[in-house]
Amino acid sequence: MGVQQDIDYRWRRLDAEHEKQEKALEAIDQNIGEKFLKIKKALMDLNRDLEVRTRQFETAGRQKEKIVQELAELYKKLYAKQIEEQEQEIAELKARLEELEINKEPEVEDPSLVKAKTVAIFDSILFAIENWSTDGDTAPDFSLACQSILFPLVYSQVMNGNEHYFLKTVPTASIEVVKRGREYVKFIRGTCQVGLTDPEAWSVHVPMIAKWWVNDALPLLYGARDDVWERITPLTLEAIMSWRDKPASRALEFPLVFDAMDLLDRHREEIREKTNLPEFTRETLNTRLEAN
């Protein structure tokens, strides 16, 4: 075999090998294409399935939301009905309670206890005014001057059963009365060099103290004033000193006031429990004035 023949032979083998490779590549390409198409189809089917499921999920979500809204409206209606029924029941119960309150017999308080409460309230107001100063200075003479008008004007009326003078609890204005009374004591202490039991001082100051009770203190406590008060004359100095210095004669000389004090002693515990006097006393202790 010549050289030329050998070269031709080799070229033929190369062409055959090349053709074989091209066929193999074509087969591979065809196989890859078929697999790609299958994968593509599978992906498309999967995407369609996903879209279907997404639509189903969205539909289910809308249906769920609708159901929730419907349930909420249903509960709202049910609760509204229950609330309405309960409010109606409460209104009926209130009406029945009010009817019972109207028809209930008023509680009758022991008249002697009411009288004792009134006396205790006035005694507590006088005690608070008397203990007016933060330095311990007291004004028992001012208390005597006040008693000279209060005994005939208030205590006697109370013991005679005049209900217009009854006080069952300490009036709110009592604190203001104590404040003004203490200021009055301070003024007298700064202008009068002797006690009010001095005859001259008594004649000057007691009429003014009586006017203070008639025009200021008593209207504050009772919320009104009575023209009758203007015609009440204070006890004389001799009479009030007899009250102070002769306790054995009180029952004869001052029977109504004596009975008032007796009631006060007998009902002292009930008064402490059934009035706001303890709170009133504590408050007045914290509002005393500084001495001149």
Would you state the pLDDT for residue 102? Answer: 61
Average pLDDT over residues 261-272: 92
Do 222 and 268 lie in a common domain? yes
Q: Hey, what are 16's tokens?
A: 């055959």
In this structure, is residue 291 part of a structural domain? Answer: no
Amino acid at residue number 15 = D
Residues 6+ apart with CB under 8 A from 249: 242
Write phi, then psi, for 246 (nearest 5 degrees). -130, 70
Q: Is the pLDDT of residue 1 over 60?
A: no
Tell me the pLDDT tens digit for each residue of 28-42. 667 766 766 777 677
**Sign of the CA dihedral running 41, 42, 45, 47:** negative
Residues 91 and 143 grouped into a single domain: no
pLDDT at 199 exceeding the cut of 70: yes
pLDDT at residue 291, as a whole number: 79
Confidence band of 90 (pLDDT split at 50, 70, 90)? confident
From CA 217, how far away is CA 184, in angstroms rounded? 12
- Rounded to an integer, the average pLDDT of 256-285 is 92
Residue 272's pLDDT band (boundaries 50, 70, 90)? confident
Mean pLDDT taken over the chain: 85
Same structural domain, 156 and 242: yes
**Same domain as 201, residue 63:** no
Tell whether 17 and 73 lie within a shared domain: yes
User: In the prediction, which pLDDT does 15 show?
Assistant: 75
Which residue type occupies 85? E
* Per-residue confidence (pLDDT) for residue 105, from 0 to 100: 52
Average pLDDT estimate for 251-273: 93
Q: Helical H runs in the chain? A: 3-103, 111-130, 140-150, 156-159, 174-191, 199-212, 218-222, 237-245, 250-253, 255-266, 268-274, 277-285
Domain identity same for 218 and 173: yes
Alpha-carbon span 148 to 210, nearest angstrom: 8
Q: Residue 275 is part of which domain span?
A: 111-285
Confirm whether 35 is domain-assigned: yes
pLDDT above 80 for 191: yes
Same domain, 127 and 229: yes
Name 170's Cβ contacts closer than 8 Å, sequence gap at least 6: 121, 124, 275, 276, 277, 280
More confident residue, 256 or 85: 256
In sequence order, the 6+-apart residues with CB closer than 8 A to the CB of 176 are: 220
Q: Which pLDDT score is estimated for 224?
A: 92
Q: What is the band of 10 on the pLDDT scale with cuts at 50, 70, 90?
A: confident
Structure tokens at 285: 């202790």
Do 273 and 167 meet the contact criterion of CB atoms below 8 Å apart?
no
Q: Which pLDDT belongs to residue 68? A: 67
Question: Is 292 among the domain residues?
Answer: no
From 104, 124, 149, give the residue that closes a domain: 104
| pLDDT on residue 38 | 72
Beta pairing partners, 289: 133
Domain assignment present for residue 128? The answer is yes
Compute the distance between CA of residue 10 and CA of residue 77 in angstroms, rounded to an integer: 98
What one-character DSSP code corresponds to residue 151? I
> Would residue 29 count as lying in a domain?
yes
Contact between residue 259 and residue 159 where contact means Cβ atoms under 8 Å apart: yes
Q: Dihedrals φ, ψ of 133, to 5°?
A: -110, 145
From 60, 83, 104, the end of a domain falls on 104
The whole-number pLDDT of residue 149 equals 97
* Residue 123 and residue 265 in one domain: yes
| pLDDT at 265 > cutoff 80 | yes
8 Å CB contact between 188 and 205: yes
* Contact in structure between 148 and 234 (CB atoms under 8 Å): yes
Same domain, 260 and 167: yes
- Confidence at 91, pLDDT banded by 50, 70, 90: confident
Q: Is there a domain that residue 254 lies in?
A: yes
Q: Is residue 290 a part of any domain in this protein? A: no
Q: Which of 48, 81, 104 is the last residue of a domain?
A: 104
242 inside domain: yes
What's the pLDDT at 169? 93
Instruction: Summarize pLDDT for 149-187 with one digit per residue, the tens.
Output: 999 999 999 999 999 999 999 999 999 999 999 999 999
Residue 150 sits in the same domain as residue 258 = yes
Q: What is the pLDDT of residue 210?
A: 97
Shared-domain flag, residues 96 and 117: no
Domain shared by 4 and 130, yes or no: no
Mean pLDDT of 103-119: 79
**How many structural domains are present in the chain?**
2
| 108 has a pLDDT exceeding 70 | no
Place of tokens 């004792």: 116
Q: Report residue 262 CA to chain centroid gap.
A: 39
Per the CB < 8 A criterion, the answer to whether 160 and 262 are in contact is no
